[in-house]
Amino acid sequence: MFPGFTEDTVRFLLDIRFHNNRAFMEAHRDEYKKIVQEPFFALIDELGPVMRQIDPDMEIRPQKALSRIYRDTRFSADKSSYRDHHWFAFRRAGIDRAGQPFFWFEFGPDRLSWGAGMWGENREAMNALRRRIVSDPEGVAEVLAGCEKHRLAWGGDPMRRLKIPPQVPEPLAPLYRCKNLFFEHPHPRYEWAFSGDIAARVARDYRALRPAWQLMQDMVRDAAAEAPGAEPVRRYTDDTEDLWTS
């Protein structure tokens, strides 16, 4: 059973923030693996069976789910070489992550969050959602109501100038305007991360998000079906990801 994160994990991540260089990381490689990587791996392992219940095709290997400690800074204004936090993502095995649904968990010195959403923007999938809102507003509203029942929130960046068709129910208009989509536990308490029941909390919310997960999978499927001459979703086969330096 995952016992929760420790203050040592937070301390090490803070050390990375203030000693963000290769010399520090190489000198503390073993410490990083013991007090940061291993606890994240343990939480991923505990959640794995739950994820397979939600979707049998889910990728649950810790090495594939956990973010790398090394940052790709080529297109970022932040040139820090190493992350001062970690996240992991569960998504269907072998699927290119761009525009695809995923479950996430993120933890660091000043952050704690988890939920499910789309990886980046996917205009075609969001257009598929808009078509579904028009054709099946009751079904979409039921997904949102299920989230509200379990005290989960949904959100997305709005398209301000998008015209709303008159047949869209008013409560669904904000969702119709979204250009991306996520569902999350809205206000997790930071101290939960240090408790032995954090895995149970996350698992409970992941299970509650199963209808939202299915909705997002349907969005991607419908978008692919609508695309003229669409090719199958690209898959990858790289099983050698190096979490340390990549």
Cα–Cα distance, 51 to 160 (Å, whole number): 35
The arithmetic mean of pLDDT across residues 91-105, rounded, is 89
CATH code, domain with 165? 3.30.930
**What amino acid is encoded at 75 in this protein?**
F
Asked if residue 136 is part of any domain, the answer here is: yes
| Tokens read off for 87 | 């996240």
Cα–Cα distance, 126 to 139 (Å, whole number): 16
**What amino acid is encoded at 142 in this protein?**
E
Asked if residue 244 is part of any domain, the answer here is: no
| 116 compared with 76, residue with greater pLDDT | 116
- When divided into structural domains, the chain yields a total of 1
- On whether the CB atoms of residues 195 and 133 are closer than 8 A, the answer is no
Q: What is the mean pLDDT of the chain?
A: 89
Say yes or no to pLDDT of 244 above 60: no
**pLDDT tens-digit series, residues 99-127:** 799 999 999 999 999 999 987 778 999 99
Asked if residue 207 is part of any domain, the answer here is: yes
Burial class (CB in 10 A: 0-12, 13-18, 19+), 167: exposed
Asked if residue 211 is part of any domain, the answer here is: yes
- On whether the CB atoms of residues 202 and 47 are closer than 8 A, the answer is yes
CB atoms within 10 A of CB 121: 15
Asked if residue 235 is part of any domain, the answer here is: no
Domain that holds residue 208: 7-226
Burial class (CB in 10 A: 0-12, 13-18, 19+), 133: buried
